Amino acid sequence: MRKAFLFFCAFCSLLSQAQQTLDLTGSWDFSVGDTARYDEYVMLPGSMLTNGKGDPVTVNTRWTGSLYDSSYYFNPYMEKYRVEGQMKFPFFLTPEHHYVGKAWYKKDIYVPQSWERQHITLFLERPHIETTVFVNGQRVGHQLSLSTPHQYDVSDLIRPGMRNTIEVCVYNGIDNVGVGQDSHSVTDQTQGNWNGITGRMELRVQPRKLYIKQVRITPYPFKGYVNLKVVLGGEVNPLYTLDVMGVTVQQDKENAYAFMMSYDLRGKTMSVDVPVGTEVALWDEFHPQLYRLGIGVGDDYYETTFGMREIKAEGRQLYINGRPLFLRGTVENCCFPETGYPPTDEESWTRILAKVKEYGLNHVRFHSYCPPEAAFVAADKLGIYLQPEGPSWPNHGVKLRRGQVIDQYLLDESKRIVDTYGHHPSFVMMAAGNEPAGDWVAYCNDWVREMKRYDPTRLYCGASVGGGWAWDDGSEYHVKGGARGLDWDRNAPHADDDYYDQILRPRNYRDTTDNNTPVIAHEQGQWCAFPDFKEIPQYTGVYKARNFEIFRDLLRDHGMASQAEKFLMASGKLQTLCYKYEIERNLRTRDYGGFQLLGLNDYSGQGTALEGVLNVHWQEKGYTTADEWREFCSPVVALARFPKFVYTTADTLVVPIEAYNAVYGDVINVRTSYYIYDDSMKVYAGGVLSLKDLPLGKNIPIGTVRFPLDSISRPCKLTLHVTMAGELKNHWDFWVYPNESTDVQFVNTQIHIADTLDAEALQVLEKGGKVLLTAAGKVRLGSDVVQHYLPVFWNTSWFKMRPPHTTGAYIDKTHPLFKYDFPTDDWGNLNWWELLNKAQVMNLMEFPKDYQSPIQPIDTWHVSRKLGMLVEASVLKGKLLMTTMDVSSDLEHRVVARQMRRAILSYMESDDFHPSTVLHPQVITDLFTKQGPQVNMFTNESPDELKPKVK
C-alpha cells in the first residue's frame, strides 16, 4: 500500500510539470477572401456558420455533394421554396449561410517572458480543411489534415514578454485533398463543408533543450509488456534518463497496479519494452480497463492512457484477446445539426456512444471520416470497438490510382490518424474509406500492406463497400454488402434462413476455394420510416429541418395532415420489425463477423434518409425503445427459427429455439422457458425448454416449441415469448386462421361482386344495392406507385424513385370491418404480407380531401400521394366497397386473403356498412382509366448502387 502511495505522489508530481499552455479560444478578428481586411470578428472554436458568416443560401449555391434529384429546380410546387431568404431544400438540412474559400482569423496574445528559449507549438485541434499560419507577419507553414490536429513549431517566431500576432488562413475547398465531394469528412450532405477551427486551440510550451515529440504505444498483453517508441527533440544528454510510470485504471481501485521504470537515453528515437506485471488488465467491451501512462525526460512530461488488448483475424472469425468477437455495430455518419461539425468534448461523445451501447451494440464505423480525440476517449471508457476511416469516398469524379492527389493524401492521412489516435484500445479496425472507384482493389491491397507494416496492432480493411463492388483479396477483414437484407419481396416472411452461403462465396468472389476471412455486413438495414414532424423544433442550431417542412407541406396539401403521427408510428413499427428480423438472420449465421447498421440514427442528407429508429439527434421517435431493441440485439439473444408466421388450425407450431452468446465466455446453468399468449394475455401453452450452459458462440441449440393449433377457436394473433436466465427475453408474433372454406355462408349473398364498375354494377347501385369491386391488378390511377411489403430503401430522391415507393401501411383498426374476425394491429404487421406485397394501390387524388382509406399505404415522403387499398362510398342509390387487395385468387392456399374476403362480405352484409362519403360514379371509373401525374426525378448521374455490376 505504501508503494502505491509513493507511486501516486511521483505521478502527481510529474503531472504538475506537464506542458504549459496558453488558451487561444475566444474572439478573433475575421475576414474572407484571398487577402485579409479584418473588418469583422468571430468566436472560436467555431465555424463561419456558427458565427453567422458566409453567403446567403440561394438556388445558385454550389454545394459540396451530389444532388442526384434535380427535380427541385424544375418542379413548380417547389417554387415557393426557392426564394432567397426563405430557402428550403429537400436534399438535406438547410443552413442560413454557405461559404467555400479562404477565411482569415487573427488574434493577438501576450506570451510570458518565462517562455524565452523554449519549444513552442501552435496546436489547432480540428481546422477545416487547410491552414496556413503566420506569426508576427512571418509565414510558418501549411497543413491539410481532415482528421488530426494541425501543429506548428513557432518557437523561432514567438516573442516572449510581448504581444504576438497569430494569423490562420483556413481554406475549405476540397480540390487539394481530393477525397470526393460526398465524403462525410467534407460534404454538405452530413456535417457540412464548414470553414473554421474547433476543439482545443492553444500555444504549448516544452523545454527546448530536450522535449518529447511523439510516443507510439504497442501493447503485447500476452507477453506482459508494452513497447514504447519515443521520439525526442532537442539535445540528448547521457546524464538524462527516460522515466516511465503507469497505473491500471480499474473499477476495483484496491487492485490497481502501479509501475515505474527508468531507462538511459540512447538517442533521439528510443524503443523500450515496459513490463506491466504478471496479471495484465485486459481491455474489451465487457472490461474497459485502461492504463494511465506517464513519460518523463528532463523537464518534459507526456501523459496518456492506453489499453492492453489484442485483435486478430483467423479464418472467418475475429478474436479479441484470444476469444471470439462478434460485432453488432452502427455507422456514425457525422451528422451534427446544431453546429455542423463533430463535437470535440468527451461528454458529447459519451452521450452518443452510451446510446449505442444502450441499444445492445458494441461497435461503431465512422463513414469516410475519423472522429476527434474525444470519441476515442469515450469509447475507451465505455468499451466500444471503433472503425475510423480515411476521410475519403473516392467516387463521383474521384478515383483511386488514376494519378489524382487522393492516392498519396489518403496514405499520408491514414498514417497521421494512427500516429494521433493509435494508443486508444477502442481503435481496433480501420478502412481506407467508403465505396471507391478506379483501380481501387490494387490500391487498397497496397494500402493494407503498408498500414499493417506501419502499425500491426489493429486490423485493416481496404474499403467499406456495397455488394456490387469487387472482392479486395488483400483485406484482413471485409466490410461488404450482399449478405444482408430480407427476401420478403419474393417469399412469405420466415425466420429459418441465414447468410452462410453468401459468406462462403461473397458477391464477386472469384477464388475456387471458399472465402476464409471475416466478413461484416456493410450498411445493413436502411429501412425507412416516415418523417417525425415533432422533431422540427429540436433543430435549434445552425441547420434547420426545412426538408421536414417541405414534407409536412406535401402531406397537408394532399389532405393527410391528420395522418402524420399515424404514418410515423405505422412505418416505424414496420421499420423496427425489418431490423429485428434482419439482425436475427445475421446473428444465426455461422461464421458471420457481425454487422454495421446504416444506421441506428437517421441520416440527414442524400435526399433525407430516415433509416434510424433514433432521430439524427440520437433521440427516440416513440415507436420502439432500447429495452425492446435489446431483445434481438444484445450480447445474448434467444432466436426462433419460424418457417412461417401464418398458420391454420390444422397446423402444429414447430419452432426450433437457439441462442447467440457473444459475451466473454460460457454462461452457466441457463434456464430457458417459453409461453404462448394472445393480445388479452391469455396463455395457451408454456414450459421449460432447457436448463444448460450456453457456450460462447452461435447456433446453440436450446429446444423446440411444439404446439398443436387445433384448439384455437377464432382467428387471432399469438405471441411466442422466450425467456433466458429470467431476464433475457425475445418474442415473435404469429397468426392462426380457420382451416375452412371461404364463402360457404355467402352462397346466397345479395352483394354484387365484380372486378370493374361495369353496366351491371351501376345498375345494382342505381337500384340501391351493394357492390364489391375486387379490382386487384385492374386500376390505372395508382399503378405508378410500386408497393412492396418491405419499406422504402434509403429514400426515393437519392435513388430517383427506384421501387418500392411505400414505407408500410397505416391500418385503421377501429374501422368496423375488422370486427368481423380479422384481427389486426394499426400497421401492416406480418399477417398483412399476403395482402400488401406487390399489390396495387389506388391514388385517391379525386376523393374528398378529408377522406382516408382504412387500409392506407404510406407513400414516399418526397411525393406523399394519398393512397388506399380499400375504399367505400355511397354511389348513386347504393353502397360500394372497392379493394385492390387480391381477395379472389388461390384462396385455398392464401388463408389471410381468404379471411379478409370473409371479413369484407360479413361487414357489407351487416348494419355497420353505411358509407358516409358520397361519390359520383365517374370518380370510381377514373380509378380504372386515368393515369396519375408523372413524377420526374431529373438526374445526370446514378448513385454508385445503381451503376453496372462488376463482372
Three-state SS sequence of 681-712: CCEEEEEEEEEEEECCEEEEEEEEEEEECCCC
pLDDT reported for residue 5: 33
For 455, left (φ over 0), alpha (ψ -120 to 50), or beta?
A: beta
Question: Is there a contact between 164 and 158 (Cβ–Cβ < 8 Å)?
Answer: yes
Cβ count within 10 A of residue 492: 17
- Long-range contacts (CB closer than 8 Å, 24 or more residues apart) made by 621-624: 621/529, 621/532, 621/535, 621/568, 621/572, 622/532, 622/568, 622/569, 622/572, 623/529, 623/568, 623/569, 623/572, 623/573, 623/575, 623/576, 624/572, 624/573, 624/576
Query: Distance (Å, rounded) from C-alpha 392 to C-alpha 331?
Result: 15
Residue 11 has what pLDDT? 45
Q: Is the pLDDT of residue 695 over 70?
A: yes
Q: What is the pLDDT of residue 2?
A: 32
- 881, 913 Cβ separation under 8 angstroms: yes
Angstrom CA distances, 241 to 16, 207, 217, 296, 488, stand at 19, 15, 19, 8, 67
Q: Looking at residue 742, what is its pLDDT?
A: 57
**pLDDT tens readout for residues 101-113:** 999 999 999 999 9
Provide the strand spans (E) within 453-526. Answer: 459-461, 464-465, 478-480, 519-525
Residue 670 in grid coordinates: 441457463
User: What digits encode the pLDDT tens for the residues 111-127?
Assistant: 999 999 999 999 999 99
Q: What is the pTM of this model?
A: 0.95
**pLDDT-based confidence at 172, cuts 50/70/90?**
very high
Rounded Cα distance, 522 and 594, in Å: 9
Cα separation, 353 vs 376, in Å, equals: 10
Residue 920 and residue 943: Cα distance in Å, rounded? 44
Q: Which long-range contacts (CB under 8 A, 24 or more apart) does 241-244 make?
A: 241/265, 241/297, 242/270, 242/272, 242/295, 242/296, 242/297, 243/14, 243/294, 243/295, 243/296, 243/297, 244/272, 244/274, 244/293, 244/294, 244/295
In angstroms, the CA 381 to CA 658 distance is 32
Peptide bond into 45 cis (omega under 30): yes
Q: pLDDT-derived band of residue 240, with 50, 70 and 90 as boundaries?
A: confident
Rounded Cα distance, 612 and 609, in Å: 8
The CA-to-CA distance between both ends of the chain, in Å, stands at: 67
For residue 745, the model assigns a pLDDT of 56
**CA 302 to CA 296: how far, in whole Å?**
6
Give the pLDDT score at 747. 57
CB 517 within 8 A of CB 445: no
The C-alpha atoms of residue 694 and residue 698 are separated, in whole angstroms, by 10
Say if residues 420 and 371 touch (Cβ distance below 8 Å): no
Q: What is the pLDDT of residue 16?
A: 40
Specify the pairing of strand 867-868 against strand 842-843.
antiparallel
Output the CA–CA distances (angstroms, integers) from residue 323 to 77, 225, 525, 529, 696, in the order listed. 58, 20, 28, 37, 9
Alpha helices by DSSP H, listed for 702-790, are 759-766
pLDDT, the chain, mean: 94
d(CA 881, CA 875): 10
pLDDT of 942 reads: 58
Q: Where does the pLDDT of residue 938 fall: very low under 50, low under 70, confident under 90, or very high at 90 and above? A: confident
In which band, very low, low, confident or very high, does the pLDDT at 301 lie, cut at 50, 70 and 90?
very high
